[in-house]
A and B are shown apart, each in its own frame.
Chain A
Amino acid sequence: MKNLKQKYCIVGVGNTAYGKNPGISQIAHNVLAIRSALEDAGLTTQDLDGVLTKAPTSTFPMLWGPKIAEALRIQPKVTATLDQAGASNIGLIQYAISAIELGQAEVIAISYGDNPRTGTRASYARPRGDDALAGLFGAPSSYAMVAKRHMHEYGTTNEQLANVAIAHRTHASMNPGAQFQELFTVDDYMSSRWVAEPFRLLDCCPVSDGGAAYIITTEEKAKELKKLPVYIEGIGQAHPSWDFYRRPELATSGAKIAGKMAFKSAGLRPADIDFCEIYDCFTIVPLISLEEYGFVDKGEGGSFYEEQRTHIGGELPCNTSGGLLSETGMPGTQLVVEAVRQLRGEGQDRQVKGAEVGLVSQQGGIMTTHATMLLSNQGIHK
């Protein structure tokens, strides 16, 4: 983020209903989310000159950006679909900033929408590479392999993993838009069925329909719009592996490098962060992410959650809308939307008091890709 001509902002966010959403196509989720984000910003489709997308997880269509643009009845100057899985949600913001900085566009929409809950979800259980004969199908088994190693190295327990799921569910219970809002206990977690040990059902995010979008523009343009601008302070990325088990240290992630990059570009430190929105497809991920970012020492993520220090009102509220585990299993776009709402003070019952700087952590594959973004409201609450 060095030497950019100007600062960049997120000026609109929107989403469709999360959960089971029959009759809404993948395109509709994208279009409706973008239209909602434009309305939030006080803009129209005619203001857009860029449409950037992450491809739906359940299928992998070609030329998805132009298709979404056409469904908005616009002919944008800039489109792209980025293949970093869950990390694309931030990678696309980096691409948007590049396009604006190069003078190609001024207002860019970024969206994700999919309907794996009511449509096809075959891709979720398809083996990767030649893993089928090894019996490795589906993301839960792969992430469980990471969790098992973390447990072995640091003594992390299922009770601690339960507390990740419980913390995020507690926040979802204050979010009327969350797919799962009902509270549960460690005992409930312990009696949920095994999927792939050490993971039980409540370690895994749900399969969800839904769409979410955000609008990126310059600070100059942002100041003309109706909502308080949320500033993009820093972005980092790192990509540790393709076949997750070949990563030398399995209980680590790209968060360490991506985080350092983001903090350096923002001139901020972990101590400056008021809340985090962390990709939590499985309970082990936020725990490792907090460690890799340096919020806690390596191996201390489990006890940090167990001591409820990640609850709203605690020292580092995490996943204030429920995250992937409870708000929606959508791969990460919703985390950016929630961070923006928190920084505008629109969190309602789940608002983090005085939130000025938030961290969004995204990753994809089996901790294959990673992206980190720091956002701020530059002290609107002061």
Chain B
Amino acid sequence: MNEPPIADKFAAFEELIPPLDDLNTPYREALSRGELILQQCQSCTSYQYPFESFCYECGSNLLEHKVSRGQGFIYSFVKVHQPYHSAFKPFIPYTVATIQLDDGPRLLSAMLDLTTEVKIGDRVKPRIEKITASESMLMYELERS
């Protein structure tokens, strides 16, 4: 039997997507192009996520969107067995990791379809999957895979 098309496998995530607003629209549009963007403060140079109208570090409002390679390492992780939401059921047990980005911010991210055990310190890279025609989802995978 063939694998279901990727769109079907991830379609159930659509209802988890937060509503669009002024701050997150550029991020979501970038993701749908297959790119991860962060905000970078033009005063203190720090990168940030989630997006805001000000810099969390220095308070400046001089923020620009910058494409990030999104690489980093696993700072901590859990393997979820409890079926909290139907979208994640096919992946149970699935890994959720705190990702320490090389660019500075930390993110929470699902790591789905893992074929090997992960450990704290493992290098990771973004995996961006289409959920709908206009929306994509940021996940992470091991850099070596």
Q: Which residues of A contact B (CB under 8 A)?
A: 125, 127, 129-138, 140-141, 144-146, 148-149, 152, 193-199, 245-246, 250
- The docked-state distance in angstroms from the alpha carbon of A136 to that of B120 is 18
Tell me if B16 and A133 are in contact (CB < 8 A).
yes
Tell me if A135 and B94 are in contact (CB < 8 A).
yes
A144 / chain B contacts, CB cutoff of 8 Å? 78
18 A–B pairs (Cβ distance < 8 Å), ordered by A: A129-B50, A132-B16, A133-B110, A134-B107, A134-B108, A135-B88, A138-B82, A141-B78, A144-B78, A146-B76, A152-B120, A193-B81, A194-B81, A194-B93, A197-B79, A198-B78, A245-B75, A246-B106
A131 / chain B contacts, CB cutoff of 8 Å? 108
- Per-residue CB contact flags for chain B residues 77-119 toward chain A (1 = under 8 Å, else 0) read 1111110110010010110101000000011111000000000
Please report which residues of chain B, range 46-70, place their CB below 8 angstroms from some CB of chain A when the two chains form the complex. Answer: 50
Q: Would you call the interface of chain B mostly helix, strand, loop, or mixed?
A: strand
- The docked-state distance in angstroms from the alpha carbon of A232 to that of B91 is 50
Contact A195/B110 with A132-B16, A135-B94, A152-B120 known, Cβ cut-off 8 Å: no
Tell me if A130 and B18 are in contact (CB < 8 A).
yes
B93 to chain A, nearest CB (A): 7
A362 to chain B, nearest CB (A): 24
- The docked-state distance in angstroms from the alpha carbon of A136 to that of B91 is 13
Tell me if B110 and A245 are in contact (CB < 8 A).
no
Tell me if B82 and A245 are in contact (CB < 8 A).
no
- Chain A residue, CB-CB nearest to B50: A130
- Chain B residue, CB-CB nearest to A146: B76
B7 / chain A contacts, CB cutoff of 8 Å? none
Tell me if A125 and B106 are in contact (CB < 8 A).
no
- Per-residue CB contact flags for chain B residues 103-145 toward chain A (1 = under 8 Å, else 0) read 0001111100000000010000000000000000110000000
B34 to chain A, nearest CB (A): 17
Tell me if A196 and B110 are in contact (CB < 8 A).
no
Please report which residues of chain B, range 4-50, place their CB below 8 angstroms from some CB of chain A when the two chains form the complex. Answer: 13, 16-18, 50
Tell me if B17 and A250 are in contact (CB < 8 A).
no
- The docked-state distance in angstroms from the alpha carbon of A130 to that of B17 is 8
- The docked-state distance in angstroms from the alpha carbon of A137 to that of B78 is 12
Tell me if A245 and B106 are in contact (CB < 8 A).
yes
- Chain A residue, CB-CB nearest to B111: A135
A198 / chain B contacts, CB cutoff of 8 Å? 78
Tell me if A145 and B78 are in contact (CB < 8 A).
yes
Tell me if A195 and B77 are in contact (CB < 8 A).
no
Residue of B13, B80, B137 contacting most chain A CB atoms (<10 Å): B80
B91 / chain A contacts, CB cutoff of 8 Å? 135
B122 to chain A, nearest CB (A): 12
Tell me if A133 and B120 are in contact (CB < 8 A).
no
Give the contacting residue for A138; candidates B50, B84, B120; CB below 8 A: B84
